[in-house]
Amino acid sequence: MPIVNRERYEELLTRAKAGKYAYPAINCVNTETINAALEGFAKAKSDGIIQFSTGAGEFASGSIKNMALGTIALAEFAHRVAAHYDVNIILHTDHCVPEKVGKFLIPLIEETERRRAAGLSNLFSSHMFDGSELPLKENMKTAVELLTRCQKSDMLLEVEAGVVGGEEDGINNENTPAEKLYTTPEDMVAVYEALSGVKGARYMFAATFGNVHGVYKPGNVKLRPEILKHGQAAVVAKHGQEAHFDLVFHGGSGSSEAEIKETLEYGVIKMNVDTDTQYAYTRPIVDYMMKNYDGVLKIDGEVGNKKIYDPRAYLKVGRANMAERVVQACKDLNSTGKSMGR
């Protein structure tokens, strides 16, 4: 079983919450970044999450520019390679805004439905619907529809209420009013009441507490993790301990270790890692090009050095460094050494 099934997925989330650790969710855009994530998780002896955004799917499809097609191709590769590692891998999709549901989420859900009808395992473990741009009632209406459909195919759904600031993958919230960057306790109660209507379904909730996508120097992003604490308390007070959310931390680049650790106390079981791993992948490639300038280029009529400009030579240094950043993410989230094994 290369990608975790529903039963194992729920067990992983339950163990993480009880143990107060979270799984890094690594955004990947090609086979090399998938390999980097897998190598990092294996080295850290941590289970983990590989996820694809709409932009990654479009990029992976080349000039066809079909985000669903590219994502399916990346997922099929991840299935094949993940089967050779001894850690559990959750396969997930990242932010899908309402306008892209029809050309991204629905085709991916349909692909899993086709696989199941043929007796094959799910293509994905879970998906994310980001309806945070909508009024909450409308957001939850679509979320309930998607959760109901995911539930039928033994998949989980991640939802978001409140807005993550900054810009990522073409989603620009840089001018969002400050008050919208914080999910209120009332909103958290409303999310639970809407989604709990889908009997037997399990979901993850990306509540916002000042998170900002992108990269910032420490101290520039003003996180308020206590918002998660107050929101969880409000939900539990009204609906009991079973209402306690599995929370997701978006926009964590530049966060202090203390802030990250604090969110784990309040039920965060997944943290997205994208900006930092992008840089970790690109930085050594830049270094390679600068140090091997006369080898990667045919300068002044020379022939260059094929061993140097072979893409495998420089892509593997990026992959290795990104894998180390994944190891660091596991350490930050306390998941190191906690793999349940296959």
Q: DSSP class of residue 263?
A: H
Residues catalogued as catalytic? 94
Vertex 67, ends 30 and 56: CA angle to 5°? 30
Q: State the pairing for strand pair 268-273/247-249.
A: parallel
Handedness of CA 35, 41, 45, 46 (dihedral sign): negative
**Edge-to-edge order in the sheet of strand 89-93:** 89-93, 48-52, 23-27, 268-273, 247-249, 203-207, 156-161, 126-129
Q: Alpha carbon 301 to chain centroid distance?
A: 46
Q: Is 102 exposed, middle or buried (0-12, 13-18, 19+ CB in 10 A)?
A: exposed
Q: How far apart are the C-alpha atoms of 226 and 96, rounded to whole Å? A: 27
329: part of which helix (H) or strand (E)?
A: helix 311-332
Query: Which of 57, 148, 152 lies closest to 112, judged by CA?
Result: 152
Query: Which of 332, 328, 283, 342 lies closest to 41, judged by CA?
Result: 328
Q: How far apart are the C-alpha atoms of 15 and 29, rounded to whole Å? A: 29
Q: Which residues pair with 89 in a beta bridge?
A: 48
